[in-house]
Amino acid sequence: MAQLTRLVAPLLALLLVGLAGLPAGAPKSLVGRVVSIVDGDTIMVRIGDRTEIVRYLGMNTPELRHPTLEEEPGGREAAEANRRLVEGRTVRLELDVQERDRYGRLLAYVSFGDMMINAELVAQGYARVMTIPPNVRHQKLFLKLQREARLLQLGLWRGTGRPPPEPGASATTPAQVGDTAPVS
Protein backbone atom coordinates (compact mmCIF):
# COMPACT_ATOMS: atom_id res chain seq x y z
CA MET A 1 0.00 0.00 0.00
CA ALA A 2 2.82 2.43 0.83
CA GLN A 3 4.33 1.74 -2.57
CA LEU A 4 1.03 2.59 -4.27
CA THR A 5 0.76 5.82 -2.28
CA ARG A 6 4.27 6.83 -3.41
CA LEU A 7 3.22 6.32 -7.03
CA VAL A 8 -0.21 7.96 -6.79
CA ALA A 9 0.75 11.01 -4.69
CA PRO A 10 2.85 12.71 -7.45
CA LEU A 11 0.09 12.04 -10.01
CA LEU A 12 -2.51 13.50 -7.67
CA ALA A 13 -0.35 16.59 -7.12
CA LEU A 14 -0.02 17.09 -10.90
CA LEU A 15 -3.79 16.75 -11.30
CA LEU A 16 -4.47 19.33 -8.59
CA VAL A 17 -2.02 21.79 -10.17
CA GLY A 18 -3.78 21.29 -13.50
CA LEU A 19 -7.16 21.96 -11.91
CA ALA A 20 -5.87 25.22 -10.47
CA GLY A 21 -6.22 26.70 -13.96
CA LEU A 22 -3.96 28.20 -16.56
CA PRO A 23 -0.88 30.21 -15.64
CA ALA A 24 -1.44 33.96 -15.28
CA GLY A 25 -1.58 35.61 -18.70
CA ALA A 26 -2.24 32.40 -20.62
CA PRO A 27 -5.13 32.69 -23.07
CA LYS A 28 -8.34 30.98 -22.03
CA SER A 29 -9.80 28.84 -24.78
CA LEU A 30 -12.98 26.91 -25.48
CA VAL A 31 -13.90 24.41 -28.18
CA GLY A 32 -17.21 24.26 -30.00
CA ARG A 33 -18.95 23.48 -33.28
CA VAL A 34 -20.11 26.28 -35.59
CA VAL A 35 -23.87 25.85 -36.07
CA SER A 36 -24.55 28.95 -38.18
CA ILE A 37 -23.01 32.06 -39.70
CA VAL A 38 -24.56 35.39 -38.71
CA ASP A 39 -22.35 37.56 -40.93
CA GLY A 40 -18.68 38.11 -41.73
CA ASP A 41 -17.58 38.61 -38.13
CA THR A 42 -20.19 36.77 -36.04
CA ILE A 43 -21.04 33.08 -35.72
CA MET A 44 -23.19 30.80 -33.55
CA VAL A 45 -21.14 28.12 -31.78
CA ARG A 46 -22.38 25.10 -29.82
CA ILE A 47 -20.20 24.73 -26.71
CA GLY A 48 -21.27 21.78 -24.61
CA ASP A 49 -25.01 22.10 -23.98
CA ARG A 50 -25.33 25.80 -24.89
CA THR A 51 -25.13 27.87 -28.07
CA GLU A 52 -23.15 31.12 -27.93
CA ILE A 53 -23.13 34.10 -30.28
CA VAL A 54 -19.41 34.66 -30.94
CA ARG A 55 -18.10 37.99 -32.23
CA TYR A 56 -14.61 37.88 -33.77
CA LEU A 57 -12.06 40.06 -32.00
CA GLY A 58 -9.71 42.56 -33.64
CA MET A 59 -11.56 43.03 -36.90
CA ASN A 60 -14.82 44.19 -38.44
CA THR A 61 -16.66 43.31 -41.63
CA PRO A 62 -19.38 45.23 -43.50
CA GLU A 63 -22.87 44.61 -42.10
CA LEU A 64 -25.45 42.30 -43.65
CA ARG A 65 -28.19 43.41 -41.28
CA HIS A 66 -28.13 46.64 -39.34
CA PRO A 67 -30.94 48.21 -37.31
CA THR A 68 -30.69 51.59 -39.08
CA LEU A 69 -28.63 51.00 -42.23
CA GLU A 70 -29.09 49.02 -45.41
CA GLU A 71 -26.77 46.13 -46.21
CA GLU A 72 -23.23 47.51 -46.57
CA PRO A 73 -21.14 46.90 -49.70
CA GLY A 74 -19.00 43.81 -49.19
CA GLY A 75 -21.22 42.36 -46.47
CA ARG A 76 -22.38 39.35 -48.48
CA GLU A 77 -18.85 38.60 -49.67
CA ALA A 78 -17.47 38.75 -46.11
CA ALA A 79 -20.26 36.48 -44.80
CA GLU A 80 -19.64 34.00 -47.63
CA ALA A 81 -15.88 33.97 -46.94
CA ASN A 82 -16.62 33.34 -43.26
CA ARG A 83 -19.04 30.52 -44.22
CA ARG A 84 -16.41 28.82 -46.40
CA LEU A 85 -13.87 28.95 -43.56
CA VAL A 86 -15.93 27.75 -40.57
CA GLU A 87 -19.43 26.47 -41.34
CA GLY A 88 -20.06 23.16 -39.55
CA ARG A 89 -16.50 22.93 -38.24
CA THR A 90 -15.20 22.41 -34.75
CA VAL A 91 -13.30 25.56 -33.79
CA ARG A 92 -11.15 26.78 -30.92
CA LEU A 93 -12.17 30.07 -29.32
CA GLU A 94 -9.30 32.01 -27.75
CA LEU A 95 -10.56 34.65 -25.32
CA ASP A 96 -8.72 37.88 -24.53
CA VAL A 97 -9.05 40.19 -21.51
CA GLN A 98 -12.73 41.12 -21.92
CA GLU A 99 -14.78 37.97 -22.57
CA ARG A 100 -18.12 39.56 -23.56
CA ASP A 101 -19.30 42.74 -25.25
CA ARG A 102 -22.16 44.98 -24.16
CA TYR A 103 -24.59 42.80 -26.13
CA GLY A 104 -23.55 39.65 -24.24
CA ARG A 105 -21.71 38.12 -27.20
CA LEU A 106 -18.66 36.00 -26.49
CA LEU A 107 -15.56 37.77 -27.90
CA ALA A 108 -12.93 35.47 -29.39
CA TYR A 109 -10.12 34.79 -31.80
CA VAL A 110 -11.54 31.80 -33.71
CA SER A 111 -9.26 29.07 -35.06
CA PHE A 112 -9.75 25.99 -37.19
CA GLY A 113 -6.65 23.83 -37.16
CA ASP A 114 -3.66 26.15 -37.51
CA MET A 115 -5.69 28.95 -39.14
CA MET A 116 -6.96 31.90 -37.12
CA ILE A 117 -10.15 32.87 -38.94
CA ASN A 118 -10.04 36.51 -37.77
CA ALA A 119 -6.56 36.91 -39.29
CA GLU A 120 -7.52 35.03 -42.46
CA LEU A 121 -10.50 37.32 -43.12
CA VAL A 122 -8.23 40.37 -42.70
CA ALA A 123 -5.57 38.79 -44.94
CA GLN A 124 -8.15 38.07 -47.67
CA GLY A 125 -9.36 41.67 -47.48
CA TYR A 126 -12.87 40.89 -46.22
CA ALA A 127 -12.32 42.60 -42.86
CA ARG A 128 -10.67 45.72 -41.50
CA VAL A 129 -8.72 45.93 -38.29
CA MET A 130 -10.83 47.11 -35.38
CA THR A 131 -9.07 46.91 -32.05
CA ILE A 132 -11.02 47.75 -28.93
CA PRO A 133 -8.87 47.77 -25.79
CA PRO A 134 -8.31 45.83 -23.66
CA ASN A 135 -8.57 43.07 -26.30
CA VAL A 136 -5.38 43.81 -28.24
CA ARG A 137 -3.47 40.50 -28.21
CA HIS A 138 -3.15 40.13 -32.01
CA GLN A 139 -3.32 43.80 -33.09
CA LYS A 140 0.18 43.90 -34.66
CA LEU A 141 -0.50 40.79 -36.72
CA PHE A 142 -3.86 42.12 -37.94
CA LEU A 143 -2.35 45.49 -38.92
CA LYS A 144 0.41 43.74 -40.90
CA LEU A 145 -2.14 41.54 -42.71
CA GLN A 146 -4.36 44.54 -43.46
CA ARG A 147 -1.46 46.48 -44.97
CA GLU A 148 -0.66 43.51 -47.22
CA ALA A 149 -4.30 43.04 -48.31
CA ARG A 150 -4.56 46.76 -49.00
CA LEU A 151 -1.37 46.76 -51.12
CA LEU A 152 -2.63 43.74 -53.05
CA GLN A 153 -6.10 45.32 -53.30
CA LEU A 154 -7.87 42.21 -52.05
CA GLY A 155 -11.54 41.99 -51.06
CA LEU A 156 -12.85 45.31 -49.75
CA TRP A 157 -9.67 47.04 -50.99
CA ARG A 158 -10.20 45.89 -54.60
CA GLY A 159 -9.82 48.66 -57.15
CA THR A 160 -9.60 51.52 -54.67
CA GLY A 161 -6.72 50.88 -52.31
CA ARG A 162 -9.12 51.79 -49.49
CA PRO A 163 -12.17 50.23 -47.88
CA PRO A 164 -15.70 51.44 -48.41
CA PRO A 165 -16.52 54.41 -46.14
CA GLU A 166 -17.72 53.83 -42.62
CA PRO A 167 -21.39 54.76 -42.20
CA GLY A 168 -21.62 58.44 -41.27
CA ALA A 169 -17.87 58.97 -41.55
CA SER A 170 -16.21 61.76 -43.49
CA ALA A 171 -13.56 60.95 -46.10
CA THR A 172 -10.76 61.94 -43.74
CA THR A 173 -11.46 59.82 -40.67
CA PRO A 174 -8.48 57.86 -39.31
CA ALA A 175 -10.31 54.58 -39.94
CA GLN A 176 -10.12 55.29 -43.67
CA VAL A 177 -6.89 57.21 -44.08
CA GLY A 178 -4.59 55.01 -42.03
CA ASP A 179 -4.74 51.58 -40.57
CA THR A 180 -3.14 52.12 -37.21
CA ALA A 181 -5.82 53.97 -35.24
CA PRO A 182 -7.83 51.77 -32.86
CA VAL A 183 -11.57 52.09 -33.25
CA SER A 184 -13.66 52.17 -30.11
Which residues are known catalytic residues?
A: 55, 63, 105
Are the CB atoms for 75 and 39 separated by under 8 Å? yes
Say if CB 137 and CB 27 are below 8 A apart.
yes
Q: Cα dihedral angle (151, 156, 159, 160), rounded to 10 degrees?
A: -80
For residue 62, say if its preceding peptide bond is cis, omega within 30 degrees of 0: no
The CA-atom distances, in angstroms, between 75 and each of 67, 80, 93, 127, 135 are: 15, 9, 23, 10, 24
